[in-house]
Amino acid sequence: MIAATASAPAGASEPELRLATEGGETLLFDHGTEACEPWDIPDTPTRAFREANGTLRVFQTTFRNRAAVGADFASLRHDCRIAFQGRDDPDPASFDHRGWIAATWTGDGKTVFAIVHDEYHGERFGAACGAESGPLACWYNALTAAVSRDGGASFEAVRPRRLVAAVPFRAEETRDGHAGYFEPTNIVAHDGALFMMANVVSPPPQRAGNCLLRTTGIEDPAGWRAFRDGGFPTRFADPYAGAVDGEAQLCDPIAPDVLRWPVTSLVRHVPSGLFVATMKGRTTDGDGRERTGVFYATSRDLIDWRGPALLFEAPIAGDCAAPATLAYPALIDTGSESRNFDTLSGDRATLTFVRTHRKACKDTPDRDVAMRPVRITVP
């Protein structure tokens, strides 16, 4: 996903928390020494949970999903065993293609539920694509569900229904470019329910942006509802199971003037009760200066947001002069008391992100996961 350039709207407001990076940088994953194969790469933001015995398991992976395992973040070791892999089915109706574990949630550390970013690329199976070409051609994306019964060591698709969220169109109806629900955030608990965001790209009448999804039953993939008209009435239907009422399957993008790029992590700052969203973006200051890097915003209710503010400036995709670019930022409290790391407990946190090394303006599989300490203050 390539972020569009944005400029600050007239009504923009400052976040209610102030975040600043401080101190040096360390590596959470070093591709040169830890990769199990050349394309064993970090291709999602950091997602972490604790097993029942206290072991930490972290997913930040590609479609051959592997985890890092350890007693804490300092002792994590990349495990070469594949915990999950889609079947790469050529039938788009299967919703079983290349799948990235993009969010996890566990109540007991034994049964672990995962939201999977499921990619179908029709051009790989001979489909005739529209105006787009390259990696965006015939790209049809959905969110699906998987479950682990062994603490996250292995996952399988939830059955009989695996589909969590899809646009109300079939793949063959969206072949002018990419479409679907992409890159879900981690899951956060709030007010007796679980929430996540996902970035939607779709033909009209759906508007592009970050959609907020809610469930009270993580074990049921069909239980997720999307925010619309002040509530969560939208249920997601399988477009291959029969006619779909597109108007009934809309979501309202959340705070598009603030959350201008795909949100990559959500956490709740316990002392203030505020939620913090991180994004990778590109913006232009009032003086015409372009700024790229990690931005953040804050909210009291996940609906109304303030920001964005620049947390960490760095080159991102599209900056050909840079030898390395940043992607997939996530804010995490490495000592969080939450089993699912969806909270920040105090005035310290850690920013994790993927640094991709480039050659001739092209990405290479040489990707590391870097960490920077963050200080949190209330203005």
Coil vs helix vs strand at 43 = coil
| pLDDT computed for residue 334 by the predictor | 96
Spans of the chain below 50 pLDDT? 1-11
User: Where do we find the tokens 């203030």?
Assistant: 272
Report the half-sphere exposure of 148 (CA within 13 A, side-chain side).
30
Other C-beta atoms closer than 10 Å to the C-beta of 32 total: 9
| pLDDT computed for residue 12 by the predictor | 58
| pLDDT computed for residue 176 by the predictor | 81
Angle at 302 between CA 270 and CA 292, to 5 degrees: 90
Over the stretch 78-97, which tens digit does the pLDDT of each residue have? Answer: 999 999 999 999 999 999 99
| pLDDT computed for residue 96 by the predictor | 96
42, 369 contact by CB (below 8 A): yes
pTM of the model: 0.94
Taking the C-alpha atoms of residue 245 and residue 187, their distance in angstroms, rounded to an integer, is: 28
| pLDDT computed for residue 317 by the predictor | 85
Provide φ and ψ at 23, rounded to 5°. Answer: 80, -175
| pLDDT computed for residue 5 by the predictor | 35
| pLDDT computed for residue 7 by the predictor | 39
| pLDDT computed for residue 246 by the predictor | 86
| pLDDT computed for residue 192 by the predictor | 96
Over the stretch 278-328, which tens digit does the pLDDT of each residue have? Answer: 999 999 887 888 999 999 999 999 999 999 999 999 999 888 888 999 999
Chain centroid to CA 337: how far? Answer: 22
Q: Where are the alpha helices (DSSP H) in 121-264?
A: none
List Cβ neighbours of 239 (8 Å cut-off, separation of 6 or more).
166, 167, 168, 169, 170
For 317, the token pair is 């995709």
Could you give the strand order of the β-sheet that contains 47-50, starting from the edge strand earlier in sequence? 47-50, 56-59, 67-70, 77-78
Angle at 208 between CA 296 and CA 125, to 5 degrees: 110
Burial label, 140 (beta-carbon count in 10 A; 0-12, 13-18, 19+):
buried
